[in-house]
Structure 1
Amino acid sequence: MIENSYYSQDVHGPYELHDIGNLDLEEGGTIRACNLAYATFGKLNAAKDNAILIPTWYSGTSKIMEQVYIGPGRALDPDKYFIIVVNQIGSGLSTSPHNTSPPAGMGNFPRVRIGDDVRAQHKLVTEKFDLKSLALVVGGSMGAQQTYEWAVRYPDMVKRAAPIAGTARNTIHDSLFTETLVNAITSDPGFNKGFYASSADVREGLLRHAKMWAVMGWSTEFFQQDRHKALGFSSMDDFIMNFMNGYFSVMDPNDLLCMAWKWQHGDVSRHTGGDLRAALGRIKAKTFVMPMSSDMFFPPSDCQAEWRLIPDAEFRPIQTIDGHLALFGADPNAIGQLDKHLRELLASEV
């Protein structure tokens, strides 16, 4: 185990931990005493039909979801809904490589799939909160991958689904890019096959990783219009070092790699022998597919191709030049569009 003050209640709290017991993984390993970190907002009503589940994205935790998406008067309004934000396995808050005791932690942490996360989350919401249905499952990026997995795996439980800036089956292009993120970290000699003494030992790899995120996470228009200056950074060097690297450099490399492998291998068609049409055809939820218009990870065309395979779905692209990282909330117009669409989705009959 490695002590890392970044993954703490002070930074990401308040959140609770729930032990779901041993989690047998699709790839053959087992996580013993798997803990899920979750935060709740609002109250569950007597009928238990006002629950919303939000799974987290790569590197994100429940705190950013609270800050950007949840609040009174918003679509995700804790005065109306009981909102559960679950931090994915490997997030650093839930069971992750850095907080798992030897011998199973660090570089020995087992492979985890999106489906493992969703099965774990299902145990949480059914055992802890006795939920039989979810009014909405919504998430961005890897949260969208988990949203799709929920809708395909538990079609009778999910009433509405809102995958934002993500796909149900990862593309070859996106898988290749994710591989470069992985290689940026693992090629650092300080990585030591996942058995470093601290994240600082892998600082060069984490910096390369942050620069790659800068290239693909935003968009060409973002840089053409000097959006980094509008966000308060004086130069590109300032932006890369103090925003992109500042964000990632405090994180645990093994935790990032755990999430990257899941992202890279996300695929709901595993349920149907590789038939994506059959998998998405299982979805009973009213679904809004919401890509970011300038996203280079999950471009609108990839999301649109999947939308056409979902029985009761609408295609609601979000117009923004902030690319994939519009999810961070720096473009108020993009967040306003998301709020509008989510409000309409929640108002729809199911």
Structure 2
Amino acid sequence: MNNYYSQENHGPFELINIGPLQLEEGSCIPDCRLAVAVHGTLNADKSNAILVPTWYSGTSKAMEQIYIGEGRALDPSKYCIIVVNQIGNGLSSSPSNTGGSLAGPGFPNVRIGDDVSAQHTLLTEYFGIESLALVVGGSMGAQQTYEWAVRYPDFVKRAAAIAGTARNSEHDFLFTELLIEAITTDPAFRAGLYSLSSEVQAGLKRHAKLWALMGWSTEFFRAERHKALGFESMKIFVDSFMASYFAAMDPNNLLTMAWKWQRGDVSRNTGGDLATALGQIKAKVYVMPISHDQFFTVEDCLSEQKMIPNSEFRPLSSIDGHLGLFGTDTEMLNQLDAHLAELLSSPTH
């Protein structure tokens, strides 16, 4: 077990065993455990449930700290906000916490659709929920949001996809390949059979540098935003913030999520036809790219939004780029809250 993924660091959360999860790639997780953090209380008819899936490397603690709170759009005094950690993130079933043949590099390939299927089982069988007032997520959380809206159109009343696409681009696939290679080319990785995550220090640092390069925008660098965030130089920012963020994480966990991210594609539900997949969404949808995102660009998100009935395009303005999701830009969070509050007050099907 990697102590980084403890309740002390990422709690409180409850581990819920949903039983065997049959995966799209053919394998099975016999006892699939989902790490779930609940904020607020379900009302009598269970109509106030909001689902928040997590992004690459992120956990329910980040969602709580950045997006949830009294007076915010995601207000636990009004809604029951259920944050589900994605499979492979270190809290839910993952290479780092699964024993036997599924431990470490033996962990099976998981798809976005597998996460959503597991979450559907959790919501219906454990919570007795029959519909969601909102599904909202950023980055890989947005990939899951789209999958929810396509796969369970009658279940999802509203959906907000932040800084993510319904089908991953070739550009993003290639970049993620470099994130993977940064880790796997470290000799200490040993094909995933390392003893401790810290042994793969060089690979994790290269991984972090790639995130620093693409996660923030060129404008972020030019404006020296690292100084506003409290770091004297870009080198200190990369070493102290980016590298230390990834340093304690389990490499096999990161690889499981990266493989999944690369292959996010709702058109798998419709034989590869993206327009047909997005066309069957019934939820009221807000598509919210970040203006300077180098992963999920405004143009890519707009082209998908045009295929979604009853959707609106609500881009968020921030030179922080994709990693504005970390909550570094207060003004962007204010924009986001305003859009989500408006979406939550809008009528649905």
Shorter-normalised TM-score: what interval?
Answer: over 0.9
Residue 107 of structure 1 aligns with which residue?
105
Residue identity in the other structure for 1:110? P
User: SS at 2:191's partner residue?
Assistant: helix
Residue 139 of structure 2 aligns with which residue?
141
Distance in 1, matches of 2:260 and 2:205, equals 22
Q: Does 1:37 align with 2:28?
A: no
Any idea what the Cα deviations from partners look like across 1:83-102, whole Å, max 9, x if unmatched? 00000000100000011102
Offset at residue 104 of structure 1 (A): 1.3
2:187 to 186, 189, 198: 189
Residue identity in the other structure for 2:336? L
Moved over 6 A (4+): none
Any idea what the Cα deviations from partners look like across 1:54-112, whole Å, max 9, x if unmatched? 00000000001000100011000000000000000001000000111022110111000
2:331 to 323, 333, 349: 333
2:168 to 163, 167, 170: 170
Distance in 1, matches of 2:256 and 2:199, equals 18
1:132 to 130, 133, 137: 130
Offset at residue 237 of structure 1 (A): 1.3
Q: Percent identity?
A: 66
Distance in 1, matches of 2:126 and 2:335, equals 33
Residue identity in the other structure for 2:145? T
Residue 345 of structure 1 aligns with which residue?
343
Distance in 2, matches of 1:298 and 1:251, equals 24
Distance in 1, matches of 2:155 and 2:102, equals 33
Residue 308 of structure 2 aligns with which residue?
310
Residue 265 of structure 1 aligns with which residue?
263
2:282 to 284, 299, 304: 284
Residue identity in the other structure for 2:32? C
User: SS at 2:312's partner residue?
Assistant: strand
Offset at residue 305 of structure 1 (A): 0.3
Q: RMSD of aligned C-alpha atoms?
A: 0.5
Residue 77 of structure 1 aligns with which residue?
75
Any residues of structure 2 matched to 1:4-43 within 5 Å, and which?
4-43=2-41
Residue 209 of structure 1 aligns with which residue?
207
User: SS at 1:314's partner residue?
Assistant: strand
Distance in 2, matches of 1:80 and 1:98, equals 36
Any idea what the Cα deviations from partners look like across 1:190-230, whole Å, max 9, x if unmatched? 11111100011110000000000000000000000100011
Distance in 1, matches of 2:102 and 2:55, equals 24
User: SS at 2:308's partner residue?
Assistant: coil
2:227 to 207, 221, 229: 229
User: SS at 1:98's partner residue?
Assistant: coil
Distance in 2, matches of 1:116 and 1:145, equals 12
Residue identity in the other structure for 1:306? E
Offset at residue 161 of structure 1 (A): 0.2
Residue identity in the other structure for 1:193? A
1:253 to 242, 251, 254: 251
Any residues of structure 2 matched to 1:289-300 within 5 Å, and which?
289-300=287-298
Distance in 2, matches of 1:293 and 1:104, equals 40
Residue identity in the other structure for 2:319? I
Distance in 1, matches of 2:346 and 2:234, equals 44
Residue identity in the other structure for 1:319? S
* TM-score normalised over the length of structure 1: 0.99
Distance in 2, matches of 1:156 and 1:83, equals 19
Residue 90 of structure 2 aligns with which residue?
92
Residue 219 of structure 1 aligns with which residue?
217
Distance in 2, matches of 1:253 and 1:104, equals 15
Residue identity in the other structure for 2:256? C
* TM-score normalised over the length of structure 2: 0.99
Distance in 1, matches of 2:296 and 2:70, equals 30
Distance in 2, matches of 1:105 and 1:171, equals 30
Any idea what the Cα deviations from partners look like across 1:237-286, whole Å, max 9, x if unmatched? 11111100010000000000000000000000001110000000110000
User: SS at 1:325's partner residue?
Assistant: helix
User: SS at 1:293's partner residue?
Assistant: coil
Any idea what the Cα deviations from partners look like across 1:293-329, whole Å, max 9, x if unmatched? 0000000000000000001100000000000000000
Residue identity in the other structure for 2:37? A
User: SS at 2:135's partner residue?
Assistant: strand
User: SS at 1:262's partner residue?
Assistant: helix
Residue 161 of structure 1 aligns with which residue?
159
Residue identity in the other structure for 2:96? H
Distance in 2, matches of 1:174 and 1:332, equals 27
